[in-house]
């Protein structure tokens, strides 16, 4: 897909953890506003995955990057922050599950 006459290089395509975890902020920061659709309840459950998958392409088309290396350097910061946030979120979820499981009384036989 071409937008603004910019072809998306194959090296740019791929998953973006920053776009997935920080959809709204990532979208504003990269001048691509489709991630704002994550504000729609229920629809956002699917849309965050679309943003994670298509985000790099949208950012390349809207940005004024001279080369792929510069683009990847900028997105690497978003990716690191996104993956760290994802790991923290999973760890907190697991801790909550252990906590609530410990509140359930063990039945006697």
Q: Which of 13-17, 56-60, 78-82, 98-102 shows the lowest per-residue confidence on average (mean pLDDT)?
A: 98-102
Q: How far is CA 83 from the centre of its chain?
A: 9
Whole-number Å distance between alpha carbons of 107 and 70: 59
Q: Residue 6: what pLDDT?
A: 76
Residues 19 and 82 sit within 8 Å (Cβ to Cβ): yes
Number of Cβ within 10 Å of residue 74's Cβ equals: 16
Segments in the chain forming alpha helices (H): 17-21, 23-29, 43-62, 68-103
Least confident span in 6-10, 84-88, 96-100, 104-108: 104-108
In the numeric block, which tokens belong to residue 15? 């998953």
Predicted TM-score (pTM) of the model is 0.83
């Amino acid at each position: 897909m071409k937008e603004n006459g910019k072809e998306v290089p194959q090296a740019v395509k791929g998953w973006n953890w920053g776009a997935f975890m920080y959809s709204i902020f990532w979208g504003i920061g990269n001048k691509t506003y489709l991630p704002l659709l994550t504000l729609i309840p229920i629809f956002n459950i699917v849309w965050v995955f679309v943003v994670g998958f298509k985000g790099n392409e949208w950012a390349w088309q809207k940005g004024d990057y001279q080369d792929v290396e510069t683009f990847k350097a900028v997105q690497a910061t978003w990716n690191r922050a996104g993956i760290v946030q994802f790991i923290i979120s999973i760890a907190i979820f697991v801790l909550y599950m252990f906590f609530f499981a410990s509140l359930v009384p063990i039945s006697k036989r």
